[in-house]
């Protein structure tokens, strides 16, 4: 007797992917470059966004994803950034419908920023497989997390267009082999840019801003 | 027309919980105190285990959970520790069947250690809801992750019996309010112990070892 496995998650994912594709199309038509920012908790996503908000002003808007609390949105609001907080209430990643709702709430299409950052739930695993309509996935790996993480958590590093190595201000007190990380990521992924920076001090943030603006300019309608 | 939601994950979870309960019963009868060690990637789970392995010798055994690679098991094998690596191949947490298989492979029942540590996949979200037969969940939060994480990721902190605050050797270069973390965890959880330590230097590891041995002694058949 032959048996056939039924993938019960498939219809849900197809619906998610349809919404994500429609979002991406809308973003592209409106010249909004969208990144899906993925990392572990505490890698510095929100601190980096505070720097980007100060540098880019009204050219950036942010969708914050967290399981619970508005803490990250409140931090960003202090910089004057246009931000909307999603609380997933337990879910370990954002989905495309979350983002579609936030895009409406933020008025992204009515008043398009050049760059929209979707800060995903702090989780190096689950967000990597879920399309939320972004043009590019960007991962942050910070020095205290260790330089052995790329091949242990390959799903996200396979799919990124940019790798941000954060907390380089701690390079004097931590052992972290940047070359190892980039080399191992290159075995998974033939097309990603690397940025070394400190979201805390601001060192190295400017080249990453310029990269985002250049990507937005390439989309401009 | 009334509608009824069907929880398609329920039968799977029931099977997992049955296996977990049987494991826990076996561990208790054999005097093996079992912890499920949960944290983000890079919080220092494996480094702490290297310290525990040196301090506890044959009194400890370890089940390593990773998405991919045998890196963590190889690190622990160098200390002489009895260790079995599970590669989940993409899954974002261990389940009870993974642990049951590893318990067989390690010969835990044939030759019981006092303490068995299940190092879960590096993920502060998903492992917290899945029983793998442990007596106690233990979370590690390290200083570089920031002191705002408890209420942002409440599921794990609600369920722990011990909170390890790691990387205290970085207290001079990072702002981290230990009291805030303990206070916020206390709003979720009325019964957890806190240990501040540096898995890197070994400072503060001894009280955590003693705690594990005391818990094992309480189980002794």
Question: ipTM for the complex?
Answer: 0.89
Quote the mean pLDDT of chain B. 94
Chain A: residue nearest B174 by CA?
Answer: A170
- Say what the pLDDT of residue B13 is: 67
Answer yes or no: is pLDDT of B71 > 70.
Answer: yes
**B152 with A66: Cβ contact below 8 A:** yes
Contact A183/A147 with Cβ under 8 angstroms? no
Each residue's pLDDT tens digit, A17-48:
999 999 999 999 999 999 999 999 999 999 99
B-chain residues near A155 (CB < 8 A): 67, 90
End-to-end CA distance of chain A: 56
Do A156 and A185 form a contact (C-beta atoms < 8 A)? Answer: no
A81-119 tens-digit pLDDT = 999 999 999 999 999 999 999 999 999 999 999 999 999
8 Å CB contact of A122 and B152 = yes
A8 contacts chain B (CB < 8 A): yes
B96-106 vs B10-29: helix crossing angle, rounded to 10: 30
Question: Tell me: the pLDDT tens digits for B103-116?
Answer: 999 999 999 999 99
Record: contact B42-A146, CB cut-off 8 A: yes
Percent with pLDDT over 90 in chain A: 93
Query: Average pLDDT in the B158-178 region?
Result: 97
Instruction: For chain B, say whether A45 makes contact (Cβ under 8 Å).
Output: no
Residues of chain A positioned with their CB less than 8 A from the CB of B153: 41, 67-68, 122
Query: What is the mean predicted confidence (pLDDT) over A174-195?
Result: 97
Q: Is the dihedral of CA A203, A206, A209, A215 positive or negative?
A: negative
Decide if A10 touches B, using CB distance below 8 A. Answer: no
Q: Does B167 touch chain A (CB under 8 A)?
A: yes
| Chain A interface disruption, residue of B44, B74, B89, B122, most A CBs within 10 A | B122
pLDDT bucket at A204, cuts 50 / 70 / 90: very high
- B179-203, pLDDT tens digit by residue? 999 999 999 999 999 999 999 999 9
Q: State mean pLDDT over B141-156.
A: 97
**By C-alpha distance, which of A46, A94, A48, A54 is closest to A73?**
A46
pLDDT for position B2 = 45
What is the arithmetic mean of pLDDT over A174-178?
96
pLDDT category, A2, cuts 50, 70, 90?
A: very low
Q: Is the pLDDT of residue B142 over 90?
A: yes
Q: A43 to chain B nearest CA, in Å? A: 7
Question: In terms of pLDDT, which residue wins out, B220 or A70?
Answer: A70
Degrees to nearest 5, angle at CA B139 with B169 and B183: 80
Instruction: Return the half-sphere exposure (C-beta side, CA atoms, 13 A cut-off) of residue A216.
Output: 22
Interface of A with B in 125-164 (CB under 8 A): 125-126, 142, 144-146, 148-149, 151-155
Residue B55 exposed, middle or buried by CB count within 10 Å (0-12, 13-18, 19+): middle
More confident residue, B28 or A11: B28
| B144 contacts A170? CB cut-off 8 A | yes
Inter-chain touch B152–A8, beta carbons under 8 Å: no
pLDDT of amino acid B1: 40
Mean pLDDT on B164-193: 97
Q: Looking at the predicted structure, is the pLDDT value of residue B5 above 60? A: no
Nearest CA of chain B to the CA of A9: how many Å?
10
Mutate to test the interface with B, among A12, A73, A125, A167 (most CBs of B within 10 A): A125
Question: To the nearest whole angstrom, how far is the Cα of B102 from the nearest Cα of chain A?
Answer: 19
Q: What is the mean pLDDT of residues A142-165?
A: 97
Instruction: Determine the 3-state secondary structure of B93 from DSSP.
Output: coil
The reply to whether residue A68 touches residue B148, judged by beta carbons under 8 angstroms, is no
Q: Output the pLDDT for position A165.
A: 98
Q: Please say whether the beta carbons of B137 and B160 come within 8 A.
A: yes
User: Looking at the predicted structure, is the pLDDT value of residue A1 above 50?
Assistant: no
* Count of other CB atoms within 10 angstroms of residue B137: 23
Chain A residue numbers touching B146 (CB-CB < 8 A) = 41-42
pTM for the structure as a whole: 0.92
User: Min CA distance, B92 vs chain A (Å)?
Assistant: 6
């Amino acid at each position: 007797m032959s048996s056939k496995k039924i993938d019960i998650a498939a219809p849900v994912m197809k619906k998610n992917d349809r919404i994500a594709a429609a979002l991406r199309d809308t973003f592209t038509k409106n010249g909004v470059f969208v990144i899906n920012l993925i990392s572990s908790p505490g890698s510095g996503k929100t601190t980096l966004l505070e720097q980007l908000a100060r540098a880019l002003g009204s050219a950036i808007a942010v969708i914050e994803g967290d399981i619970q609390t508005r803490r990250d949105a409140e931090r960003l609001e202090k910089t004057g950034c246009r931000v909307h907080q999603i609380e997933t209430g337990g879910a370990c990643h954002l989905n495309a419908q979350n983002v579609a709702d936030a895009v409406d709430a933020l008025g992204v299409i009515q008043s398009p920023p050049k760059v929209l950052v979707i800060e995903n739930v702090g989780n190096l695993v689950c967000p990597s497989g879920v399309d939320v309509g972004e043009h590019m996935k960007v991962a942050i790996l910070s020095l205290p997390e260790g330089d052995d993480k790329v091949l242990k958590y390959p799903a996200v590093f396979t799919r990124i267009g940019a790798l941000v190595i954060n907390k380089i201000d701690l390079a004097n007190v931590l052992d972290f082999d940047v070359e190892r990380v980039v080399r191992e990521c290159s075995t998974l992924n033939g097309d990603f840019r690397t940025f070394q920076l400190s979201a805390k001090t601001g060192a190295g943030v400017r080249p990453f801003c310029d990269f985002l603006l250049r990507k937005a300019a390439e989309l401009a309608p």
